[in-house]
Chain A
Amino acid sequence: MQASGPPQNGEYMVAAYVVVAVVILGYSLLLWIRARRVS
């Protein structure tokens, strides 16, 4: 009998978390660069 468990799809979670980090850090960096120009 085959043992059943959660599906092995951790790579999708990693991809999503990387996308979130890139977008949030990217926009933070963009604002920081724009703020440095005005200060």
Chain B
Amino acid sequence: MTKALRIIRRGGVLTVLGLLGLVAVYILALVYTPTEVRQGLAQKIFYVHAPAAWAALMAFSLVGIVSGLYLWLRDERLDRFAASSAEVGLVFSVIMLTTGPIWGKPVWGTWWTWDARLTLTLFLFFLFVGYLALRAALEDPGERGRFAAVVGLLGLVLVPFVHLSVYLFRTLHPQPVLVKPSAPSMPPEMLRTLLISFGVFTLLYLGFVMVRYGLQLATDEAAREAHDAG
């Protein structure tokens, strides 16, 4: 078995475990956690929205860090990982940007508002759509890696602003309940479910990235073999 297939298979196992974990999160959120008095059942959207946001921001941060390393070391494995992480980050961004408005409608009374957190998050999403479009448009691997790495680094600059926007600007978005200077502020049932969900989304991220990396590796190896044969 080739290295690419081994990575794909391991990533597949992690993905299946992540999918089973997601079922567990749904059961915990629906059965184990109490219903919040002011927000009702819509508050339970939080158990998938916040971990998806975490996975997306982690994915984009890693794209930026690895892109910086790629510009320095020019190792194609770093470029391959950045491309994989960007695509997976966009998947989690779609979840973040759809579940947020679904929660906002019953709680805020509107699907969307152009406040700092939401607007910056949308900018980050479009930046990485551009990142993947740029990669698709460039054929030369070296040029593609360099140009994409610069865009990836720009995304990394935006990530802290997204996280800190609730402190820096007047915003409707709730402040962090977990990643903040003081202790988490929620009942233990909610906190446990949220922490498990964070773990599950991290597992899904790892599984997706490994499979996506393995697929890219297989494509690159096939292209290299075709080039050598020709």
**Residues on A close to B: CB < 8 A?**
5-10, 12-13, 15-17, 19-21, 23-25, 27-28, 31-32, 34-35, 38-39
Q: Are A19 and B102 in contact (CB under 8 A)?
A: yes
6 tightest A-B CB contacts, nearest first: A6-B40, A7-B40, A9-B106, A10-B41, A38-B218, A16-B45
List 18 extra interface pairs beyond A12-B102, A12-B105, A21-B22, CB under 8 A: A6-B39, A6-B40, A7-B38, A7-B39, A7-B40, A13-B45, A16-B98, A16-B99, A19-B95, A20-B95, A20-B99, A23-B91, A23-B95, A28-B15, A31-B208, A35-B211, A35-B215, A38-B219
> Is B35 part of the binding interface, using a Cβ–Cβ cutoff of 8 Å?
yes
Q: Are B48 and A16 in contact (CB under 8 A)?
A: yes
**CB < 8 Å: which of B38, B45, B95 contacts A6?**
B38
Cβ contacts under 8 Å, A23 to chain B: 91, 94-95, 98
Q: Are A9 and B26 in contact (CB under 8 A)?
A: no
Cβ contacts under 8 Å, B22 to chain A: 20-21, 24
CA gap between A10 and B41 in the complex, in Å: 5
17 A-B residue pairings within 8 Å (CB atoms): A6-B40, A6-B41, A9-B40, A12-B42, A12-B105, A12-B106, A15-B102, A16-B45, A20-B99, A24-B22, A28-B208, A35-B211, A35-B215, A38-B5, A38-B215, A38-B222, A39-B5
Cβ contacts under 8 Å, A8 to chain B: 40
Q: Are A25 and B40 in contact (CB under 8 A)?
A: no
> A9-B40, A16-B45, A19-B95 known; A24 and B211 CB under 8 Å?
no
Q: Are B204 and A16 in contact (CB under 8 A)?
A: no
Cβ contacts under 8 Å, A10 to chain B: 40-42
Interface of A (DSSP majority class): helix
Cβ contacts under 8 Å, A7 to chain B: 38-40, 42, 106
CA gap between A34 and B102 in the complex, in Å: 31
**CB < 8 Å: which of A6, A9, A35 contacts B8?**
A35
CA gap between A9 and B45 in the complex, in Å: 11
